[in-house]
Chain A
Amino acid sequence: MGHENDWQPTAPLATLRLRAALLARVRGFFAERDFLEVETPILAHAGAADAQLAQFMIEDPIHGQMYLQTSPEYAMKRLLIAGSGSIFQIAKAFRQGEAGSRHNPEFTIIEWYALGYDDKRLREEVCALIAELLPHLKNTPRTLSFSAAFKDTIGVDPLKDRTDELRQSAYTFVPSAKHLTLDARDDILDLLMSQAVAPRFPDHHLTVVTDYPASQAALARVRADGLADRFEVYCGALELANGFYEAANPRQYADRFEEEARRRHERGLCAVPADERLLAALGWRPLPDCAGVAVGFDRLVMLAVGAAHIKETLAFAIDRA
């Protein structure tokens, strides 16, 4: 098949120039704040535990089964334990099967870990970075809890409603899902969040969602009140950032790896070896007190140029890669 018609970039050159300028500004932002820029391997022996993520696997004749990273989180945490101090990285990450107007299987993450920060301070820093990159976003960010986000938009209580009530709400607010069984409470919350709650967030305006239920904590600290120090930043319905006041307890990592491995097994997904080097590092010394966040850089570019599709921000999106 000829490629006479699809060799060209998917992003206008003007967007690629802006992309470069934004990357320079990101580096300036962190330089001013004394973060160390690091580069960690995108090809590694272990994959992400998360059962929701499908990784690209690559066989190396010498090193065996390798994985393309879905995020630089584990390697950066090993650096933190090794004593790096606050670090940031602009990294390529890869997620199989994630393709659409807001997803490209290969994408760019800005990820950073700030020593001595909690989630609140990090939230402010994320919003400061976004404000610097996207000065056209007006007003101050709106911050509300996970629970308030549901109540304000669809009048549903995601913490107190019974699972059958939540399921009913899901069928009401997302009629196209009415044939789904939706057994797991978290699946229902994910469905509502992505298709009923976030789409009701105001456009051109940052919404910061905090205080996630413990079941959605991932590797965030879980407080005594049962809520997690996790936050997400949205612009309209577009999710931009996901951050944590990082869990310090090594047990939480081991438990989560086991839990996700079990979930993978239940769903018939291929097993992914746990990152034993991260677990070993955590066994040597706890993760220093810090907060960490991942920001989708391509989506910031989407907002900067008003792109409707992520491919308009990439030199060559997946179909032309």
Chain B
Amino acid sequence: MTTYSTNEFKNGLKIMLDADPCAIIENEFVKPGKGQAFNRVKIRNLKTGRMVERTFKSGDTVPGADVVDAEMQYLYNDGEFWYFMSPETFEQLAADKTAVGDAAKWMKEQAICLVTLWNGVPLSVEPPNHVILKVTDTDPGVRGDTSGGGGKPATLETGAVVRVPLFINIGDSLKVNTQTGEYIARAKE
């Protein structure tokens, strides 16, 4: 197992902390006059998403976490697991609800997602930044209103609900920003 000294700490480094895989978000070197140096580190727990702050003695070592990001194609979900396939090896993996989290409401079959794997097991899933999804339910469209002011809720084929302009109808395809959950435009499809 790789170990890292605090000297090697940098943003994005994946380490093990309290038996959980974590990523270093911010690393600050603190040192008083002549004495012991410390690294004050902001860390994100990759399992829970929670941020913690930890102080290390400079020179201490921590085990690295075998965490890699892989682009994988989303295949389907069977109610319990979401299945992904590597486009290179065609290897399939199942991700549970905790790993998929909010990504579930943006993922359409075939979508290429970023799957973070810890020891080969999906830890988290990120949907593409932009997705195109069909509207399955919304109030009837108001013709001629292209102002976008006000708006109304629309339910998409994946179950996500976004705020859309009044002229949107059931069956329209929309381009949506998955990071903000905001409608971008009507997609020609």
A residues contacting B by CB (< 8 A) are 50, 52, 96-103, 174-177, 179-180, 184, 186-187, 189-191, 193-195, 198, 216, 218, 232, 239, 242, 267
Q: Is the CB of A267 within 8 A of B29?
A: no
- Nearest CB in chain B to that of A50: its residue: B34
How close is B35's CB to chain A, nearest CB, in angstroms? 4
The verdict on B31 contacting chain A, using a C-beta distance below 8 Å, is yes
- Nearest CB in chain B to that of A193: its residue: B32
**Stretch touching chain A among B36-44, B71-79, B81-89, B101-109:** B36-44
Q: Is the CB of B31 within 8 A of A191?
A: no
- Nearest CB in chain B to that of A181: its residue: B57
Contact residues, B55-72 vs A (CB, 8 A): 55-59
Known: A176-B40, A187-B36. A194 touches B54 (CB 8 A): no
Interface pairs (28), CB distance under 8 Å: A50-B34, A97-B6, A97-B58, A98-B37, A100-B27, A101-B28, A103-B29, A103-B31, A174-B55, A175-B53, A176-B40, A176-B54, A177-B38, A177-B54, A180-B56, A180-B57, A186-B36, A187-B35, A187-B57, A190-B32, A191-B55, A194-B32, A194-B38, A195-B30, A198-B32, A216-B33, A216-B34, A232-B33
| Alpha-carbon distance between A39 and B46 when the two chains are bound, in angstroms | 51
The verdict on B3 contacting chain A, using a C-beta distance below 8 Å, is no
Across the interface, A190 reaches (CB within 8 A) one of B6, B36, B54, B59, namely: B36
- Nearest CB in chain A to that of B52: its residue: A176
The verdict on B7 contacting chain A, using a C-beta distance below 8 Å, is yes
Q: Which residues of the partner chain A approach B6 to less than 8 Å between Cβ atoms?
A: 97
Q: Which residues of the partner chain A approach B31 to less than 8 Å between Cβ atoms?
A: 52, 98, 103, 194
Q: Which 6 A-B pairs have the closest CB atoms?
A: A100-B29, A190-B35, A177-B55, A194-B32, A176-B53, A97-B7
Q: Is the CB of B34 within 8 A of A52?
A: yes
- Nearest CB in chain A to that of B7: its residue: A97
| Alpha-carbon distance between A179 and B40 when the two chains are bound, in angstroms | 13
| Alpha-carbon distance between A299 and B30 when the two chains are bound, in angstroms | 14
| Alpha-carbon distance between A285 and B63 when the two chains are bound, in angstroms | 51
Q: Which residues of the partner chain A approach B36 to less than 8 Å between Cβ atoms?
A: 52, 184, 186-187, 190-191
How close is B18's CB to chain A, nearest CB, in angstroms? 8
User: Count the A-B residue pairs with Cβ separation under 8 angstroms: how many?
Assistant: 75
Contact residues, B127-176 vs A (CB, 8 A): none
Q: Which residues of the partner chain A approach B33 to less than 8 Å between Cβ atoms?
A: 193, 216, 232, 239, 242
Q: Which residues of the partner chain B approach A102 to less than 8 Å between Cβ atoms?
A: 29
Q: Is the CB of A100 within 8 A of B7?
A: no
Q: Is the CB of B55 within 8 A of A267?
A: no
| Alpha-carbon distance between A103 and B40 when the two chains are bound, in angstroms | 14
How close is A202's CB to chain B, nearest CB, in angstroms? 18
Across the interface, B55 reaches (CB within 8 A) one of A50, A98, A180, namely: A180
Known: A176-B55, A180-B55, A232-B33. A195 touches B28 (CB 8 A): no
Q: Which residues of the partner chain A approach B52 to less than 8 Å between Cβ atoms?
A: 176
- Nearest CB in chain B to that of A267: its residue: B59
How close is A288's CB to chain B, nearest CB, in angstroms? 23
How close is B62's CB to chain A, nearest CB, in angstroms? 11
Q: Is the CB of A189 within 8 A of B35?
A: yes
| Alpha-carbon distance between A55 and B67 when the two chains are bound, in angstroms | 33
Across the interface, A100 reaches (CB within 8 A) one of B28, B53, B54, namely: B28
Across the interface, B38 reaches (CB within 8 A) one of A191, A216, A232, namely: A191
- Nearest CB in chain B to that of A51: its residue: B36
| Alpha-carbon distance between A232 and B35 when the two chains are bound, in angstroms | 12
- Nearest CB in chain B to that of A194: its residue: B32
| Alpha-carbon distance between A189 and B31 when the two chains are bound, in angstroms | 12
| Alpha-carbon distance between A250 and B144 when the two chains are bound, in angstroms | 92
Q: Is the CB of A216 within 8 A of B57?
A: no
How close is B50's CB to chain A, nearest CB, in angstroms? 14
| Alpha-carbon distance between A239 and B53 when the two chains are bound, in angstroms | 23
Across the interface, B30 reaches (CB within 8 A) one of A96, A184, A194, A267, namely: A194
Q: Is the CB of B28 within 8 A of A239?
A: no
